Amino acid sequence: MALALHSIEQEDEANRCPVCGGDKRTCQDPKNQRAYEAGFKRCYASRAVGWAMKARGDDADARALVAYTTFHPERVKPD
Ligand SMILES: [Zn+2]
């Protein structure tokens, strides 16, 4: 079972596009050149993590950190 999972993970990695992280059999196929549409999603939790990581600067330990966010309801803008 573990060997089968390892094989599946290797196959997934081999098919991963180094640019977008998707399946390169799809995103690099010229037949699909007009099949993609870009979109945006907003996430302020991710922005807070990005700012916090940037504030750490060149800290060598930063790569060992797993970021998390805490939601503070008292900071929510009033309607
Ligand atoms: Zn791609």
The reported pLDDT for the residue numbered 65 is: 87
Cα(72) to centroid of ligand 1, in Å?
36
Give the CA radius of gyration of the chain.
19
Predicted structure pTM score = 0.54
Cα(78) to centroid of ligand 1, in Å?
41
- Tens of pLDDT, residues 9-49: 898 999 999 999 999 999 999 999 999 999 999 999 999 99
For the chain, give the DSSP string.
-HHHHHHHHHHHHHTB-TTTSSBHHHHT-GGGTTS--------HHHHHHHHHHHHTTT-GGGGG--------GGGSPP-
Cα(41) to centroid of ligand 1, in Å?
19
